Amino acid sequence: MKVTVVGAGAVGASCAEYIAIKNFASEVVILDIKEGYAEGKAMDLMQCASLNGFDTKITGSTNDYSKTANSDICVITSGIPRKPGMTREELIGINAGIVKSVSSSLVEHSPNTIIIVVSNPMDTMTYLVHKTTGLAKHRIIGMGGALDSARFKYRLAEALEAPISDVDGMVIGGHSDKGMVPLTSHATRNSIKVSEFLSEERLNQVAEDTKVGGATLTKLLGTSAWYAPGAAVSGLVQAIACDQKKIFPCSTLLNGEYGLSDLCIGVPVVLGRKGIEKIVDIPLSDAEKEHMKASAEGVKKTNDLLEL
């Protein structure tokens, strides 16, 4: 199993580290445009191998895509992150050009790959990868919902004063401050609906804190987060590599599902060796349906800014 990670920055390096530590991939190639940077990160990570007990071979490349040839999975993290006070959508001007050229170079060398898009604004970048590469739709996956759901569970556990392992919940919709749809009606504590434990007001607060999870961290860190994003990407990569058939909310091209078409947005999907093996339709409350519709309108507005 060969995995390429484009972008050796905060998220790319964290994701490569988690993939290596989980020890399911034979090879990880990290590629960056900055001279020597990916090689340096790869060497530093390889020097963790004996300490952390993994055998994954990690190599770095300065923009040489021949080293990525025949990758089973490619992760795109290249692009600029936001600064405090910015929205993810404001990154489109720079990141669209980067994602476009990176995705075509990847597919040129790995025509049968599965691509996981991380660069922001993620839903629009995932749509752009469809338009650029023409890969089958089940091979292009946007990562946002897995991270947002982890943040939702963190906030739920905090409100419930419960261990995170006791809590389950999912966030669908666009990966943006306003577009996320935390499914509070489906969230549970050990199979009991969380509404049994929390007032509507407290649940609304959990949802609002979840939606601004990325912005909260960006304000604290001065740039956007990387540990949980890296862990979330490694979870998707592992589900594909190990054919786990796990359900994650991922951004995928919709064709009528959830009443939406011609956009990529987060919905629950089954991930296995073929990539997105099924889009799972779940019943939404009227309020959640309304939020999903508004979220889709927001994503489409950002897609309209693309020069296709």
Ligand X SMILES: O=C(O)C[C@H](O)C(=O)O
Q: What residue 265 binds from ligand X, ligand NAD, none (CB within 5 to 8 A, per partner kind)?
A: none
How distant is the alpha carbon of residue 284 from its chain centre? 22
**Among 46-54, 114-122, 261-269, 289-297, the segment contacting ligand NAD (CB under 6 A):** 114-122
Q: Restricting to residues 107-166, which ones interact with ligand X according to CB under 6 A?
A: 120, 147
Radius of gyration of the CA atoms of the chain, in A: 18
Of the candidates 83, 153, 88, 152, the one whose C-alpha atom is nearest the C-alpha of residue 126 is 88
117 is in an annotated binding site: no
12, 145, 182, 214: which one binds ligand X (CB under 6 A): 214
Rounded least distance, CB 61 to ligand X, Å: 25
Is position 100 an interface residue for ligand NAD (rule: CB under 6 A)? no
Task: Give the count of alpha carbons within 13 A of 199, CB side only.
Answer: 3
Residue numbers 76-95 binding ligand X by CB under 6 A: 81-82, 88
Residue 238 binds ligand X (CB under 6 A):
no
Phi–psi pair at 22, nearest 5 degrees: -75, -15
Interstrand relation of 261-272 and 180-182 (parallel, antiparallel or unpaired): unpaired
DSSP 28-63: EEEEESSTTHHHHHHHHHHTTHHHHT---EEEEEES
**Beta bridge mates, 278:** 270
What's the rounded Cα separation, in Å, for the pair 101 and 106? 9
Q: Is 155 annotated as a binding residue?
A: no
By beta-carbon proximity to ligand X, the closer residue of 68 and 224 is 224
Distance of closest approach, residue 76 Cβ to ligand X, in angstroms: 13
Which tokens is 8 given? 């050796």
Of the two residues 123 and 288, which places its CB atom closer to ligand X in the complex? 123
32 annotated among ligand-binding-site residues:
yes
What count of other Cβ atoms lies within 10 Å of the Cβ of residue 180? Answer: 28
Whether 186 is catalytic is no
Annotated binding site for substrate: 82, 88, 120, 151
- Residues making contact with ligand NAD (CB under 6 A): 6-12, 32-34, 37, 77-82, 91, 95, 98, 102, 118-120, 122, 143-144, 147, 175, 223-226, 229
- Residues making contact with ligand X (CB under 6 A): 81-82, 88, 120, 147, 175, 214, 218, 224-225, 229
